[in-house]
Structure 1
Amino acid sequence: MIRDAEATRARLLAAARREFAAYGIAGARVDRIAAEANSNKAQIYHYFGNKDGLFDAVFTGIVEQVVTGIPLDVDDLPGYAVKLARGYDEHPDILRLSTWHRLERGDSALVEAAVRSNQTKVDQIAAAQREGRLTTHYPPGVLLALVLHTAAVWASTPDELAGVIGPTSPETRHRLVHDAVRALLSA
């Protein structure tokens, strides 16, 4: 019974991740999620309480995926940014779900795992700056934000700009991210 419950919960989370990435919280439909997961709405309410609870579970999973999957390397911030960029290429729903979270849950409580992870990264950057291993041109939090946003630049580029830029291969995009972060560090 436990194994079936875990499998059902996992199917619901996977289906919800796709649904929320496509439609956001307001546009997502629990009927579609349940059908895709080969389950029913009652199971969603049993495991997650409501649609908002289901979104929170999906978003917490995304945060854990990024936090544990791509650890910060203060001695290779360009390489770290490229790993993030590759992750966004492989999982485009990550930024979509983050955007939906900001748009539809902006007034909700902060995701503590993300706050702790960001604080740890800022602390690591600050220590590397004190040790002379990183530029002090930017405060540690600003440097982290610049690296994170540079890593996400291609994944968040509007189609209207991407069409003007022209097609670029993933390898070219990743090289540009690497070079841009390296340039930040030489400031």
Structure 2
Amino acid sequence: MPIDADDLPGYAGRLHDAAAQHPQVMRFLAWYALERAERPAPEIVARSMDEKIAAIEAAQQRGTVTSDTPAGEILALVLTLANMWEHHTEDVSHLVTDAQRRTIITDAVRRLVTPHEPARG
């Protein structure tokens, strides 16, 4: 999924939608994580993550994403939020509807990445 660092809430929403539409991909990724264990990520995965971090850093420099949090941490949080419902069983999945899940994710990412206005005093 191509990242749009100037619209991280939309990016998270699209990731969520893709996971919901293709649950087999999420199962594959879970299996991949188990098999890979503590080994370093393959070069192609590491490069993809580096490119996403660079895109977020550029958005931070443009002022469209907060600079309060390092870009790598923002990426990790966005990816986790986007896929959080896919990793839970019915014990928590039933708490909200499918439509609510996307809104919860995009709202949380928006709050996470929106730059704060300086206090006036």
User: What TM-score, normalized to structure 2?
Assistant: 0.85
Partners of 2:32 and 2:113 in 1: how far apart?
A: 30
Unaligned runs of 5+ in 2: 117-121
Q: What residue number does 1:97 align with?
A: 28
More off after superposition, 89-98 vs 74-83:
89-98
Q: What residue number does 2:81 align with?
A: 150
Look up the SS of the partner of 2:87 in the other structure: coil
Look up the SS of the partner of 2:56 in the other structure: helix
Aligned length: 115
Q: What residue number does 1:177 align with?
A: 105
Look up the SS of the partner of 2:86 in the other structure: coil
Please, what is the CA RMSD of the aligned residues? 1.6
Q: 1:54-87 deviations in whole A, cap 9, x for unaligned?
A: xxxxxxxxxxxxxxxx210011110000000000
Q: 1:8-60 deviations in whole A, cap 9, x for unaligned?
A: xxxxxxxxxxxxxxxxxxxxxxxxxxxxxxxxxxxxxxxxxxxxxxxxxxxxx
Partners of 2:3 and 2:35 in 1: how far apart?
A: 28
Matched, 1:71 2:2: yes
How far off its partner does 1:107 sit?
Answer: 4.4
Q: How does 1:15-34 map to 2 (within 5 A)?
A: none
The structure with more helix, counted as a fraction of residues = 1
Matched, 1:106 2:37: yes
The percentage of counterpart residues that share the same residue type is: 37
